[in-house]
Structure 1
Amino acid sequence: MRHRTAWQALAENPLRVLRSAWPWRSLAYLVTGVAFGGTTVVVLPALLAIGVASLPVGVGAVFVLAVALSGVPVARFERWRLRLADRDPVPDPHRPPERPGARGWLRTRLREPATWRELGFTAVSMTALWWMDLLVLAFGLVVPFLLITAPLDDPSAWPWLVVGLCLLPAGPYTVTAWAAARGAVTRLLLAPRDGELGYRLTEVHASRARLVDAFDAERRRIERDLHDGAQQRLVSLNVALGLARLDAGPGSTLDQRIADAQEQLTLAVSELRELSRGVHPKALTDHGLAAAVENLAARSVLPVEVDIRLPRRLPTPVETTAYFVVAEALANTTKHSQATRAGVQAHLHAGMLTVSVRDNGVGGADPTTGTGLVGLADRAAAADGRLRVSSPPGGPTLLHLELPCH
C-alpha cells in the first residue's frame, strides 16, 4: 500500500481501491469515530453538568477545568486514529511545560492557543462529525443490507433486493471517500499553526546546535588528553631510552636496538601529534582561527595562500566550524581537484564571518558524490550559517562560508 492517504488511492485508480486495504481502514476509522464520538457526547456534558451544579461547594471548578482541557486527550486520540485514513502523522502542537509538575503543565496548557483550538474541535466532533460518520455508515452499508434482506420477511419486496444489490458496490467508495474527507478536516483543525511549527523548528535547531557544541567540547577534551597524557608519556619514555642508551656500549647490539626503538617512538609521537591536531588543533584553542589555518596551510602538500585578518577572537563555535570547513575543503582540494595552489580568505564585517576557500583545479565538485560537501553544509547550518559552492567543470572551485557571530 504505497499511497499515503485514502484520497490518493481513490484519485489514482478507483477500481483498485476495492482490492486494497483502504476501504477496511476507512471503515475502522468511521466505526471508531462513532464509538468515540458517542462516548464524548455522554461523558463531557455529564461532567459539565456536575461541575456547574457543584460550583457552590468548590469542587465544581475541577470538573469544569477537566471539560476545558478535554480537547487535549481527545485531540491526541484523534491524531493517533487519523493514521487509519492518513498515514502521515500530525505533529503534536503542544509545547513542553515551562515548569515541572502538574501546576507547570496546567499553566502551559491553559495559555496555549492549541488547547482551545482542540476544545473547539471536540465540540465540532460532538455536534457534527461523529453524527455524519454514523449517517455515512448507515447509508453506505446498513441501508443496502436492509434492502437486500427485505425479501426474507416479505417476498413481494424483491424489487428492493435489486436496489440493494445496485447500491452495495457503492458502499466501499462512500465509506472511503468520507473517511478521506473526514481525515482532511481533522488534519486541518489539529495540525500545528505556523507559530507552533516555528517554535518546534527553533527547538530542533537549538538541539542540533547543542549537539554540535557537545561534540566540539568532547573533541577538545580528547585533544587535551592526548597532548597532556599519552603524548607526554611517550616523550618521557623517549628520554628514558636515551638515558639507557648512554649505558649501552657505542655500536653494540643493545645500542642499535635502543636507537631503533627511539626512532619508532619518535614516529609514534609525530603521528599522535598529527592525530591530536585533527581531533582539535591546540593552535585553534590557544591562538584562534588565523593561527590554526596558518598551521593547516603550512602542513598542506599544496601551496596555500592565507589572508585572514580578524579584529578579535570569535566565539568558539564559530571558530571551530570555520576551521573544520577550511580543513575539509583543503583536504578535498588535495584529493580531488588536481589543483596546484589554493587560497583561504576570511574577514569579519557587521557581525558576519565570511570565509572563502578557492583553488585552480579541474572543478566539478558535486555534493552527491561523497566529497564531504553535504557534511560541511550541515555543520554550517548547525551554526546558523550558510555554505555555497561554485565549481564549474574545468574550474576553478570556490567555497564560500558565512557564519553569524552572535
Structure 2
Amino acid sequence: MRPTTAWQAMAQRPMSFLTSSWPWRSLAYLGSGVLFGTAAMVIVAAGLVVGVALLVVLIGIAPLVGLVLASTVVAAVERQRLRLVDLDRLPDPHRRPHAPGARAWVATRLKEQVTWRELLFTLLSAAALWWLDLMVLGFCFGLPAAFLGSLDGETWPWAIFSAVVLLASPYTVTSWAGARAAMARTFLAPRDRELGEELREVRASQVRLLDSFDAERVRIERDLHDGAQQRLVSLGMTLGMLRLDTPPDSPQSELLTQAETQLSAAHQELRALIRGLNPPVLADHGLVAAIEDYAARFPIPVTVDLRLPERLPRKVETTMYYLLNEAMTNIARHSGATKAEVRGRYHADLLIFDVMDDGRGGVDPEAGSGVTGLADRVEALDGRMRVSSPVGGPTLLHVEVPCRYA
C-alpha cells in the first residue's frame, strides 16, 4: 500500500525509506515551518502590540479582529504545507457567508468555532512550533556541522557523535514532522458539526442505506428460511410418498430419481444462500469465527490472521463481515490468484484490515469496479480504504474503521 503520511512511510518501508522522497519532504516541511512560523510570530506580535496600544482609544479592536482573521490565512497555508507529509487533503471547514460583502464575511468568520481554533494554532505556531522546528534542524545539522568544523585530536568522540546524529537525521526529522503534522491536523481538521449540511445529509443517508440493507437482508433470509425452504422440504416429502406408490422398474421411478436429485441440489443451494445472507456463525461466535468459516470453504487457500476483540459492535461486525466476504469473492472471480491472506488488528479504537492476494493486479478504484461498493461500506462507518494493485500484482486492500466501546 502506498503510504499517505511520513510516519507510515517510515514504518512500512524502513529499508527503502532513506531512498524515498519522504525524508526530503519532511525536511522541506520543517524548513518552511521555520520561515512560516517566523512570519506568524511577526504578525501576532504586531497585531497584539498595535491592538493593545490602540485599545485605550477604542480603536484597538480593529487590529485584534485583524489578527483573528489573519489566523485563517495562516491555517489555509498550513493546510497546504501539510500535503508535504500527509497526502490526505484537509478540506476547508469554513462556511460561505450568507450575504455578499466584507462585513458578512467577517461576521461569519468570527462566529465560527474553527476560526478560534485556527487562532489558537497560530499563537501556538508563533510561540512554540517553529522554535521546535528550528531546534530539531539545529540538532540534526547545525550541531554536527559545528563539531565537524572544529575537529582536532581531542574532539574525535564528538566527531563520532556528529556522524551518528547525521546518519539518524532522516528518521529524527521525519519523526518530528509526523508529530507536528498530526498536531496541526488536530487543530485544523473540520469537526463533524462544522461539515456542510449537504455533506452531513450524505453521511446520514449512507448510514440509513446501510441500516435498511441490513434490515432487508434479515427479512429476505427469514422469508427464504420460513417460506421457500419449507416448501422444498414439503415437496421432498411429497416425492417420497409418491415413490411408495411407484414400481421400482417403471419409467416414473427414473423421473422421480431425477426430480429428487434436482430437489436436493436446489435445497443445498438455498441453504448456502441463506447461510450467506445471515450466517449463524457470525451471530453466535463473532467476526473472527465467521471469516475463518468462510475462508475454510474458499476455492483458493486463504491465510486468516485476525486478532480482534471477542465481539465487536453489531453494525461494525456485520458490515465488516460482508466487506471482507465481498473482497474475497472479488479475488476468486477476477484476480487469478493462487493464495490470499486476511489480516486484522484492533488498536487504539481503530479496526485495521488488510486483504492481500498474489493475483494479476491492475485493480483501478476509479474505474467503477467492485471496489467502489466496498468503499461505500467503509465510508458509512466513517472509515477509509486504500487499494494498492500494480499491474502484475500483488493486490492489497487496506481498511481502517473507527470502533469505540462504551
Superposed CA RMSD = 2.9
Q: Distance in 1 between matches of 2:205 and 2:228?
A: 33
Runs of 4+ in 1 over 4 A off after TM superposition: 183-197
Give TM-score scaled by structure 2 length. Answer: 0.50
The amino acid that maps onto 2:297 is R
- Residue 317 of structure 2 is matched in structure 1 by 319
The answer (yes or no) to whether the contact 2:365–2:387 under 8 Å persists in 1 is: no
Query: Which ranges in structure 1 are unaligned for 5 or more consecutive residues?
Result: 1-92, 94-113, 122-182
One-letter amino acid of the counterpart of residue 269, structure 1: H
In 2: Cα distance, 1:338 partner to 1:207 partner: 36
SS at match of 2:195: helix
Give the drift of 1:328.
Answer: 1.8
CA distance in 2, matches of 1:191, 1:204: 24
Matched AA of 1:393: V
Distance in 1 (CA, whole Å) between partners of 2:385 and 2:266 is 36
Residues 1:217 and 2:211 aligned together: no
Is the aligned partner of 1:286 residue 2:284? yes
Q: 2:365 matched to which residue of 1?
A: 367
Partner AA of 2:268 in structure 1: S
Q: CA deviation at 1:199?
A: 6.3
Three-state SS of the structure 2 residue aligned to 1:387 is strand
Which of 231, 234, 240 is matched with 1:233 structurally? 231
Relative to 1, partners in 2 of residues 1:347 and 1:184: Cα closer, same or farther, differing over 3 Å?
Answer: same
For 2:233 and 2:106, locate their aligned partners in 1 and report how far apart those are by CA, in whole Å. 68
The Cα of 1:339 is off from its aligned counterpart by 0.9
- Aligned 8 A contact 1:223 1:281 in 2: no
How many residue pairs get aligned? The number is 229
1:320–1:233 CA distance, 2 compared to 1 (3 A): same
Cα deviation for residue 324 of structure 1 reads 1.7
Q: Report the Cα distance in structure 2 between the residues aligned to 1:277 and 1:184, rounded to whole angstroms.
A: 61
What per-residue deviation string (whole Å, max 9, x for no partner) do you get for residues 350-388 of structure 1?
332222111111222111333311221121010111111
Q: How does 1:171-190 map onto structure 2 within 5 Å?
A: 188=105
Amino acid at match of 1:284: L
Mapped to 1, the partners of 2:241 and 2:348 lie a distance apart of 57
Q: 1:190 to 1:239 in 2, by over 3 A?
A: farther
CA radius of gyration, larger in: 1
Deviation at 1:184, TM superposition (A): 6.7
Q: What is the match of residue 378 of structure 2?
A: 380
- Equivalent residue, structure 1, for 2:265: 267
* 1:306 matched residue in structure 2: 304
- SS of the residue corresponding to residue 361 of structure 2 reads coil
Structure 1 residues 247, 347: closer, same or farther in 2, change over 3 A? farther
CA distance in 2, matches of 1:377, 1:276: 25
**Could you tell me which amino acid in structure 2 is paired with residue 346 of structure 1?**
G
SS at match of 1:362: coil
Summarize the Cα distance change of 1:237–1:395 in structure 2 as closer, same or farther, 3 Å threshold: same
2:150 corresponding residue in structure 1: none
Q: For structure 2, which runs of at least 5 residues remain unmatched after alignment? A: 1-94, 114-192
What is the distance in 1 between the residues matched to 2:352 and 2:401?
7
Which of 195, 216, 219 is the matching residue for 1:198? 195
Work out whether residues 352 and 400 of structure 2, in 8 Å CA contact, stay in contact via their aligned partners in 1. Answer: yes
SS at match of 2:303: strand
CA contact (8 A) 1:223 1:282 kept: no
The residue type equivalent to 1:294 in the other structure is E
Deviation of 1:186 after TM superposition, in Å, equals 9.9
CA contact (8 A) 1:337 1:361 kept: yes
Cα distance in structure 2, aligned partners of 1:206 and 1:330: 28
**1:7-406 matches, cutoff 5 A:** 188=105, 197-198=194-195, 200=197, 201-406=199-404
Paired-residue identity, %: 52
Q: What SS does the corresponding residue of 2:393 show, helix, strand or coil?
A: coil
CA distance in 2, matches of 1:376, 1:186: 45
Distance in 1 separating the partners of 2:297 and 2:341? 14
